[in-house]
Chain A
Amino acid sequence: MFRKWFGKKENLEEPQPPAQGDEPLSTKASPKAAEGPQGPEAQAMEAPDSEEPKKARWSLFGRALEKTRKGLKSLFTFRRTLDEAFVEEIEAELFGADFGPETVRALLDGPNGIRQAWKDKTITEAEEVREFLKRNLKAMLTRREVKLAQAATPPTVILVAGVNGTGKTTSIAKLARRLRDDGKSVVLAAADTFRAAAVEQLTIWSQRLGVDIVTGKPQADPASVAYQGAETALATGVDYLIVDTAGRLHTQVNLMRELRKIRDVLSKKIPGSPHECLLVLDATTGQNALNQAKLFQAEVELSGIILAKLDGTAKGGIVVAINNQLDIPVKMIGVGEKLEDMEPFDVDKFVDAVFE
């Protein structure tokens, strides 16, 4: 049954769990949460991921960025003379990848930009531009620790936030799977009590993963669910607590305060937490992503970004601006709909994948 869930074609045949999933849902609805710590291990055996052996992670990433690379590569493969038309082509490519005017301007017209280097005769051939851009882009991305933080004493608390539809719940499932595969115990807290069936969605994931989940009543105060999650995590002694939150537009003041409250409740119950406060960004998002990061940062102090949906044609170039201006590193990237389609972000590989 889990097997079916994998592979594109079989995907379509998958019977929809919620259709027959009434009983597990209703039991989950009990506010007392803590579905009982009945062995995540037992179910873990059945879990799907063992099916696909760990591929070279970066091949996935490479695949995600292949299109950009192709686009850029076509500029470099033919012997081109370095002229204004060539620079403008590069500009168009960079814009097309959502790098945004500021980043593109810095890369082209900044003191270390292409045009200056061209003028100074630092670069004279079109072929050199690629290496030059790569170097500059790497320099722009601050080298911060992108490994997920770990609490000195468990549980490590990870709070996940973002605007609507960026892929929070799916990212959480992927994250939980990674942690579980590393031999860590995980409990999820379904603090999205607003969107219809959001709790059910996370519950289904938890069942598939064989990890525990804490849920509250529909429309319950999300902070109370987070609190219960923290309690459960402490009581059961798990390694990780991952808190899912409702999608919220960064401009909605009340909802941002609600998020702040969730954060406060967590840090009160478990001092020093949340150890990670991750913003899930949709890679297709354009320049608005910077606004999102800014306002979420202001409210809950982000520790990193999960860049989701990199498997489409979108490049998520805006993360460069976010990293640059707000110093928030991308920590994980999502490269597909399957549970194993998540990998850690790596600056060098990111840049190399774009330009090679």
Chain B
Amino acid sequence: MFEAITRRFTDIIGNITRKKITEGNIKETLREIRVALLEADVAFEVIKDFLAKVEAEALGDRVLKGVNPGQQFISVVYEEMAKLMGPVDTSLHYAQQGPTVILMAGLQGSGKTTTCGKLALLLKTEQKRRPLLVAADVQRPAAVEQLKKLGEQIGVPVFSESGVKPPQICLHSLDFAKRQGCDTVILDSAGRLHIDEAMMAEVKEVAALTTPQEIFLVCDAMTGQDAVKSAKQFNEQLSLTGVILTKLDGDARGGAALSVKAITGKPIKFVGVGEKLENTLKPFRPDGMAQRILGFGDVLQLVDDARKVVNAEEATQLQEKLLSATFNLNDFLKHISAVKKMGSMKDLLKMVPGLGAHVDDMGVEDKELSQIEAIIQSMTPKERERPEILNTSRRDRIARGAQVARTEVDGLLKQFQMMKKFMDEFSRAGGKGPLGKIKALASAKKQMSDITGMMHKMVEATGPQQQKGTQKGRGGPQQPGNPKTGSASGLSKDEIRKRRKAERQNKKKNRR
């Protein structure tokens, strides 16, 4: 399904770029896009309105008389979608006086409690607020316990009360917040069905008693057509002020984002992208989301992740290296380790624009990464820096060290050379904006039959990435087939050597 939709979009782009848009063939194209959007779980009725807008726009002067109608058509689709989901609004309204109240509501299992924890942490660290978490979910067994544990983890107080109804708990929590000097109260309500009248009345009562500055609907990004129904009800009953979209770290296209925004008109404020509490609640970006729904890959998110965790200087250095001839196996190794830490290779590749549909055909296996790593780790620093010195006996030794066949070592080196070559071409072919990139990628696709090439492309498209945070304490078994040969310190030794050299040169400079 996933491959299907991305492939479809790649096809649409392919078809449309070849021919001129006319009123005749636009119907056919729109129908294709409609199916793609349905596969992305955008609600049926939302699609209808959306495509009407796109059609009107596309048939205007701008596209038909433009230089490149095909590309412009796709950008109309993209822009309209981003526009519909925008504008960016991640502001939070705080009370002028007394504690600010944020009410979190949503269906069961949408991720309210976890999101409460994330929001509290975000407010605490980035906004310097003093949040209080309120356990108003007395429905689900151990929900209160769960919030308490989360509060403990992030050092935020949690208010709970037993034997009292949720509206009263929430009301009492306000006094508690004042006494404790907390300035922001986050109410974690129980999950409820939008058609459950008693439960909806209850949450309405909570809102009436606490007059929240913000009422957020927490919505699972994997939600299908039902998203419009539930969002509509919650909005009507609660007058939402915003939406938080959760579980976006999966591979759902997230069409629910478009549906919910179109139906409620309320801004999507944040997206949840992981189970950890730190750094997993991100500002919503309509353009990134539009790309994701359209299968272009959420490049912006990746770039942002990379920027956050990689120190900027290091990033520029690596990027420069990638584009220059000095890129060597050391950098390659560094890159592989980073990629591995980010999780599934396939998953990452799917986020690259234009690549999504082809990842499965490429035969990427995550264990290959471990093998490559083992091979490079079995090389001496000198060999890593200058792969051209690798003669037969050196290669044999490396193969023994990494416990692989000689041919694997040869293959890797060959791939490395190809990758360098590809990099050169790619950097020359680079176009403007996402569409230019897609075009460049399409033209380079033939050379992308090997894993290293792909990684490369990813680097080029997104900038170097570092670990997006694999979950600590949630590892799973060790990756098989990862012989611990060579030493990780080989890399750092090499770095130390370089640094020393640089220091020496600096000293020299200073002396002068």
Contacts and interface: CB of A to CB of B under 8 A. Distances in A.
Contact of A261 (B162, B366, B477): B477
A95 B142 CA distance: 37
A142 interface: no
Interface in B179-201: 193-196, 198-199
Interface in A152-185: 163-167
A247 B110 CA distance: 12
Interface stretch (B37-45, B294-302, B396-404): B37-45
Contacts of B247: 163-165, 249
B470 A284 contact: no
A286 B225 CA distance: 7
Question: Considering residues B141, B227, B253, B479, which has the most beta carbons from chain A within 10 angstroms of its beta carbon?
Answer: B141
Contacts of B160: 16, 19
A197 B148 CA distance: 9
Contact of B195 (A96, A101, A102, A313): A313
Interface in B451-503: 470, 473-477, 479
A100 B222 contact: no
Interface in B139-167: 139-146, 148-150, 153, 160, 162-163, 165-166
Interface string B351-392: 000000000000000100000000000000000000000000
A77 interface: no
Interface string A290-334: 110000000000000000010111110010010000000000000
Given A165-B220, A287-B41, A254 B470 contact: yes
B220 A312 contact: no
A167 B145 contact: no
Contact of B252 (A8, A219, A260, A288): A288
Nearest to A280: B109
Contact of A288 (B109, B194, B222, B344): B222
Interface in A70-98: 92, 95-98
Given A16-B160, A312-B107, A96 B44 contact: yes
Contacts of A97: 225
A200 B143 CA distance: 9
Nearest to B219: A284
Interface in A1-28: 8-9, 11-20, 25
Interface string B80-119: 0000000000000000000000000001111100000000
A56 interface: no
B202 interface: yes
A252 B276 CA distance: 13
B337 to A, nearest CB: 15
Given A284-B226, A286-B225, A313 B250 contact: no
A267 to B, nearest CB: 15
A58 to B, nearest CB: 20
Contacts of A101: 35, 38-39
A79 B118 CA distance: 54
Contact of A313 (B153, B166, B226): B226
B243 interface: no
Nearest to B135: A16
**Interface size range on B against A:** 35 or more
Question: Considering residues B108, B139, B343, which has the most beta carbons from chain A within 10 angstroms of its beta carbon?
Answer: B108
A194 B146 CA distance: 11
Nearest to B149: A196
Given A19-B144, A200-B145, A287-B41, A253 B343 contact: yes
A329 B52 CA distance: 38
A261 B111 CA distance: 26
Nearest to A203: B142
Given A16-B162, A166-B109, A291-B2, A197 B223 contact: no
Contacts of A164: 109, 111, 247, 275
A12 B138 contact: yes
B288 interface: no
Nearest to B344: A253
A252 B44 contact: no
A195 B39 contact: no
B194 A312 contact: yes
A101 B135 CA distance: 41
A165 B140 contact: no
Interface in B190-224: 193-196, 198-199, 202, 220, 222-224
Question: Considering residues A196, A260, A337, which has the most beta carbons from chain B within 10 angstroms of its beta carbon?
Answer: A196
Interface in B404-421: none
Contact of B230 (A194, A254, A284): A284
B250 A250 contact: yes
17 contacts: A92-B44, A164-B109, A165-B111, A195-B146, A196-B145, A197-B142, A200-B141, A203-B142, A251-B249, A251-B251, A282-B220, A285-B220, A285-B222, A286-B223, A309-B108, A312-B195, A313-B194
Interface of A: 8-9, 11-20, 25, 92, 95-98, 100-102, 163-167, 194-198, 200-201, 203-205, 219, 246, 249-258, 260-261, 282-291, 309, 311-315, 318, 321, 337
Given A25-B145, A203-B142, A287-B40, 15 more contacts: A13-B165, A16-B135, A163-B222, A194-B473, A197-B149, A198-B146, A246-B474, A254-B343, A254-B479, A260-B477, A284-B224, A285-B220, A286-B225, A314-B226, A315-B226
